Structure 1
């Protein structure tokens, strides 16, 4: 145990490096203050290599539990409590990818994905004739008249990039090093003690393949990745709920929301003119931020106007877009008066699944030691909001939440919650060692009593 403590405490992260996770997002001056730049965040990565993982907010590849920075819970580390880890609930966004949002005026650069093969095949559950291992190879046909306002290249939009896949391998290896090799929780190969889940999106499935290979490097054969039917999925807004749009409309009609539109009017007008963007693009910063982030995180440059290749987005403009995106995410999930109801409508059912698993561990009725969920930023954001994160920046690629359950020698259950590798700072304090019942109490207000009635 002493050797383990030395190993895991040697790289305890500094406070300064974590400041980039918690900017002052409570006022729109955060958006307009150009001196803030990226507020210590990173928005670039090589296109065909794994990202460099530090301990700062990195949109391209967020930090995760790593043996060089992982620290045991304080009471365990200082030997005031004897305890062992019983369970890990791990949630992560997919790895980096191409953009969802292509510029309406056309893209001035080609996107190439020849270095990664998105496999698409089905196989019988029982022994039989194996399928051909086909994969989707995107291409551009110059005779397609719609190509003039689209983008040339060999990618789908969105799709996992080779850099994202390589990040996934390393992410998995690092989880194996902490929770397998050091803490002895994750088994050497998949057993009935582990559970893997994803949304129905190819992005999360592809990410799971990379991460799980890193976790189980010697495993041969397929691994089940559980998914709910896409029409009623409890992640990625899979189930129908008309009330979500009504609540979001109310959120985006407040004086604070309109103030942020007012202070960014000049920027939004400029970008709209450059790229022929309509109000659907400029009503939030989601579209522009997504496009710029995906470019920079995969080795591409910021975009230029197709009609004038010298008219390009500047670093200062991109930084303001990113700061505005952070402000919006914090407002959606933390600061607005309807945040609790909005989280219930978007993520309440999935939060209920998580709470039930935590309760089963506490009650001794769970056979699981490790559950890993591959989801989206639109899932990570509301969960962080429910936890009461002190300041919510846009959850970057592979952003992750690790909920650890520990049992003391006196059979008491404690929880800690790590966000991208370190104990999360919240309005409830730092969730580094709290009774498990307290964590459940924090989450329960966000579980809907009757989601069907609420949605209708």
Structure 2
């Protein structure tokens, strides 16, 4: 069984004619069937499709484009697909997921069998005044986690010197290299970015989750080494309306998601949970997580994050200190297959509701992108490069809107790049995913999103979310 569509669809997106007289197909188009979306292959398979889950470095012999959960492929010189020189690059917008980190505290076991140390890095928190008679420079203060011998309470989950979550030293190194690789392409290879940082030409943006700022603080000097210890603004929206994370409230999107996704009783969703219940019982016995803890058993998110974070940092799989039973690699592999299946289902293969959910919950960011592209075309924006550091939920919604052909769980550092080109007064967009041209199921975007006329992409975005996201408030307020 591949795709099931018994969820009632109460919305309809069809081909429309935009204000610019471009016929645009706004309907959902099914992705091709793969082993990732085949439940029998997920439950009965072995391995994880040659995906990498145990190192930031993809093993020799595998192409750089290989899915690597710990450090996903991104643009870099050796693999970058150059375009014909008759096209002129005018604007680049990068959005990528943060790099590897510790698990979230909510994804740790009630009692972990070993500590997780982060004494090889410092999380800096300081603030400076810019002006005023009493303006002073601040100290470079950082958090140093400790457990007091006078505190009788043991922390839940991992002991040690980390915050959960925080970017690890390895994740910070990956962030720095990511910046070097991007600069190597857009300055070294293409001569597009200037050699020195120019705040009039480039902007960096983060979410209200501090881990994205931790990434940016290492990515930026990877691009511009002279910016180490320099003051660089990070654009950020108020937490209640942040479109990048996204954090804005959209009740109809939440209701739609709960009708077919995590926490729902829909048979299409619960089929994989029922089929993997034996694995859940086995892991519960090792982890100490109660079988009645619904949060851990409505999806495979918690076990996936816990196990993958360990392997990405060369830590052993967990054991139960009482019974001596340990999680096996085969069990971890099944967890990873189930997680990939879930994201494929939630954001593509569940049907038209995946596109509808994405346009409601990520429509504002898409409208912001569309307005940036328009402004560059109209010559009203001096910014030529924007870089947003976000989350897996950001990337997955955007991939759903772009109707990617093969949906996966966006791993650490997953990257989407929008490149805007001009040629003889005409404008075109190319979209890169993992450093290569993105493949879409949408006929409007083309099977390969390579030099799509800008007006087509804008008409597609406008049709889904409206100019300046004008449709989103109304969609979000629908009952």
> Structure 2 length normalisation: TM-score?
0.84
Determine helix, strand or coil for the equivalent of 1:404: strand
**Which of the numbers 210, 213, 227 marks the counterpart of 1:202?**
210
What per-residue deviation string (whole Å, max 9, x for no partner) do you get for residues 141-177 of structure 1? 3454442643210000000100011111111111111
Q: Distance in 2 between matches of 1:148 and 1:218?
A: 40
Provide, for residues 254-278 of structure 1, a one-character-per-residue CA deviation record: whole Å limited to 9, x for no partner: 3321211221121122222322321
Equivalenced residues, count:
424
Could you list the per-position Cα deviations for residues 114-143 of structure 1 after superposition, in whole angstroms to 9, with x for gaps in the alignment?
011010000112383100110011122345
1:60 maps to 2:70? yes
Retained in 2: the 8 A contact 1:343–1:446? no
1:372-396 Cα deviation digits (max 9, x unpaired):
0011111001001111111111100
Question: How far did 1:178 drift?
Answer: 0.5
Distance (Å, rounded) in 1 between the aligned partners of 2:473 and 2:384: 32
Alignment pair present for 1:134 and 2:149 = no
Structure 1 unmatched runs, 5+: 1-20
Q: CA RMSD in A?
A: 2.1
Is 1:109 the counterpart of 2:114? The answer is yes
Matches for 1:54-133 after TM superposition, within 5 Å: 54-73=64-83, 76=84, 82-100=86-104, 101-126=106-131, 128-133=135-140
Counterpart selection for 2:449 from 420, 431, 438: 431
| Equivalent runs, 1:237-386 vs 2, <5 Å | 237-252=246-261, 253-277=265-289, 278-308=293-323, 310-336=324-350, 337-386=352-401
**Deviation per residue, 1:188-214 (Å, 9 max, x gap):** 222201111100111100100111011
Matched-pair contact (CA < 8 Å) for 1:117–1:136:
yes
Q: Which residue of 2 aligns with 1:454?
A: 475
Decide which of 161, 164, 170 is 1:154's aligned counterpart. Answer: 161
C-alpha contact (below 8 Å) 1:388/1:427 kept by paired residues: yes
Q: Matched residues in 2 for 1:117 and 1:93: separation?
A: 21
Query: Separation in 1 of the partners of 2:301 and 2:426?
Result: 44
Give unpaired runs (5+ residues) of structure 2.
Answer: 1-31
Q: CA deviation at 1:282?
A: 1.2
Q: Which moved more, 1:98-107 or 1:352-361?
A: 98-107
Q: TM-score, normalised by structure 1?
A: 0.88
Distance 1:121 1:267, change over 3 A: same
| CA–CA distance in structure 2, aligned partners of residues 64 and 150 of structure 1 | 33
For the structure 1 residues 427 and 65, does the alpha-carbon distance in structure 2 shift closer, same or farther, using more than 3 Å as the test? same
Q: Cα distance, 1:367 vs. partner? A: 1.2
> SS where residue 141 of structure 1 aligns?
coil
Q: Distance in 1 between matches of 2:151 and 2:356?
A: 45
Q: CA deviation at 1:27?
A: 2.5
Q: Does 1:183 align with 2:194?
A: no
Deviation at 1:34, TM superposition (A): 2.0
- Aligned residue for 1:244, secondary structure, equals helix
Contact 1:51–1:167 under 8 Å retained in 2:
no
